[in-house]
Structures are given as C-alpha cells and as structure tokens.
C-alpha cells in the first residue's frame, strides 16, 4: 500500500502537517530531493510567467475593448494561474524554510525542527535508557482513491489505518517527553520494534486509535495497553470506513459531553424560535 506519508510535528508550539521523505527505514526528513526542488521551481516560474501577461492583457482589454467578456475571461484565467502559482510557492517554503528530522539512532530516538525564517530550533533526544515504554496504536491518514463513474474517472478521499508509535520517557534534558511517529508499513515497524526490544525498552500495544491522546504522561498512561506479541489488532494500510475507536481521556470525554449538551441546547433554542416565528 503506497500513500502520502505525513507527520504532525509537535515541538512545543509548532504544530504543522509535513510530508516526510524516507532516507532509510530509521531516518525520515521533509527535505526534498534536488530534482524535486528544481521541478518545483521551474513549474512555479512558468506559472508566474503565464499569469502576469494574462493579467496585463486583461487590463489592456478593460480600457480598449467595449466587450467586458474579454477582460473577465483573461482576468479569471490569469488570476487563477497566479493563485495556483502562489499556492505552490507557499507550499514549497514549507520544505525549504522548515527542516524536520526524525531518526531512530543506535542510542535513542532523535527529532529536530528548525525554521530558517524565525531562526527557531527545537530538538528532543530520548535515550533508550530513559524510555519508560513504547506504545503502538492506530491512527488515520488520508489519500485520494480513484473511483470509476458513469460520467468518467473520479476520486474520493479515503482514510487508511497506520501505526502511531508513541514513546514516553525522560529526555537528555531531564524532562519527561511524549513523542510520536507514524509508520505505514510492516517491515519498518518490525525494524523499529526490534531496536527497542534489543535495548530493553518495553513495547506495548492498544486496540485504540491514538489520534486524540494528549502528549502528556497522564494522557498516554491512561490508554489501555498490553505487551506487544508481534501482532497488531488491525492491518496496516487497510481502509477505515469510520474514524472510530478513538481513545479519549476522562477529561476529553467530559469536554465532548459538554459540547454535545451545548449543541443540543442551541438546536432546541433554534427549534423553539423557528416554531415561534411560524405561529
């Protein structure tokens, strides 16, 4: 199963969805290959080279043509191409201005985030000796699936199950940290588990989805878990019909219940007001 590989970075206040590149089964980074950078830059340049003349021509048509349809036609196409070029440029900055590295080293788990624009740099290193345990659970990632239609080819967004690997332990800075990393294939998972077990780190598993687990010791400790025996309670890459079985802490359950109550009261108030207006 091949699908786009994303990693949610949570370095203190840094929360972003970044597509990662696999260097090895134990080293991942968002750094694009040189050929990909060249392709992106050439494509963005071409888009702007097409958009600018179209916008200029649309302005000329506005003052020289009586028919505004030419102005609107050129303006809409030029504006659309310019918007797409700007979108591609801002997306490229996510991979040139930000650098994210995740690596399972011989002595522990290392993750680093840096932002060239803000000169921000944050690193976390969890040595094996400081790890309390590793927890394997379920998470979801999306992809666009081609679907045949009577009118032609189509597509829909579907969600696939991946492994969310969470580590709880004491970092090299003597702080308790909870970190996570998604794994989308069995061979990579097996390699990571073998490394943890070879360093006497307990590997546990849960049948719950870990999508909403707080990155705190209390949050990860509250998840029901059992020793990992080499088999997951789900199949990596299988399609998820519903994003269910998500673990929620007691506090999250209370917040969810309060939200439902509030929504129910708002719906009841709206229904009452609507009924009053109809009278």
String of b and e for 8-18 (b: at least 16 CB within 10 Å)?
ebbbeeeebeb
| φ and ψ at residue 116, rounded to 5 degrees | -65, -30
pLDDT tens, position by position, 136-164 = 999 988 776 666 666 656 667 788 899 99
Interval 94-123: pLDDT, tens = 777 778 889 999 999 999 888 877 888 889
Supply the pLDDT for residue 155: 65
Q: At what angle do helices 68-96 and 34-64 cross, to 10 degrees?
A: 160
Provide the Cα torsion 66, 69, 73, 79; round to 10°: 70
d(CA 55, CA 76): 9
**Average pLDDT of the residues in 252-268:** 71
The yes-or-no verdict on residue 166 having pLDDT over 60 is yes
What is the per-residue pLDDT for 8?
46
pLDDT at 180: 92
Please, which residues have CB within 8 angstroms of residue 20's CB and are 6 or more apart in sequence?
5, 6, 7, 28, 29, 30, 100, 102
**Between residues 132 and 71, the one the model is more confident about:** 132
Percent of the chain with pLDDT over 70: 82
Kindly report the three-state secondary structure assignment for every residue of the chain.
Answer: CCCCCEEEEEECCEEEEEECEEEECCEEECCCCHHHHHHHHHHHHHHHHHHHHHHHHHHHHHHHCCCHHHHHHHHHHHHHHHHHHHHHHHHHHHHHCEEEEEEECCCEEEEEEEECCCCEEEEEEEEHHHEEEEEEEEEEEEEEEEEEECCEEEEEEEEEEEEEEEEEEECCCCCEEEEEEEECCHHHHHHHHHHHHHCCCCEEEEEEECCCCCCCHHHHHCCCCEECCCCCCCCCCCEECCCCCECCCHHHHHHHHHHHHHHHHHHHHHHHHHHHHHC
**Residue 270 confidence (pLDDT):** 47
- Asked if residue 2 has pLDDT above 80, the reply is no
Q: Half-sphere exposure of 118 toward its Cβ, with a 13 Å CA cutoff?
A: 11
Overall pTM > 0.75: no
């Amino acid at each position: 199963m091949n699908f786009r590989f994303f990693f949610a970075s949570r370095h203190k206040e840094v929360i972003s969805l970044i597509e990662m590149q696999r260097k090895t089964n134990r080293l991942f980074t968002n750094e694009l290959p040189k050929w990909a950078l060249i392709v992106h830059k050439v494509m963005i340049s071409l888009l702007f080279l097409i958009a600018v003349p179209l916008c200029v021509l649309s302005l000329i048509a506005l003052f020289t043509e009586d028919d505004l349809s030419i102005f609107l036609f050129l303006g809409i196409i030029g504006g659309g191409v310019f918007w797409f070029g700007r979108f591609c440029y801002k997306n490229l900055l996510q991979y040139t201005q930000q650098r994210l590295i995740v690596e399972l080293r011989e002595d522990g788990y290392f993750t680093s985030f840096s932002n060239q624009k803000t000169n921000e740099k944050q690193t976390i290193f969890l040595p094996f000796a400081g790890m309390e345990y590793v927890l394997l659970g379920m998470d979801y990632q999306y992809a666009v699936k081609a679907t045949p239609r009577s009118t032609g080819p189509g597509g829909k967004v579907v969600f696939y199950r991946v492994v969310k690997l969470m580590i709880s332990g004491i970092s090299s800075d003597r702080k308790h940290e909870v970190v996570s990393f998604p794994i989308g294939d069995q061979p990579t998972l097996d390699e990571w588990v073998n490394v943890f077990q070879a360093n006497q780190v307990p590997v546990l598993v849960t049948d719950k989805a870990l999508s909403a687990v707080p990155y705190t010791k209390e949050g990860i400790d509250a998840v029901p878990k059992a020793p990992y025996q080499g088999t997951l309670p789900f199949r990596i890459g299988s399609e998820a019909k519903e994003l269910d079985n998500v673990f929620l802490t007691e506090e999250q359950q209370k917040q969810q219940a309060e939200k439902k109550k509030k929504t129910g009261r708002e719906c009841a108030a709206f229904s009452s007001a609507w009924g009053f207006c109809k009278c």
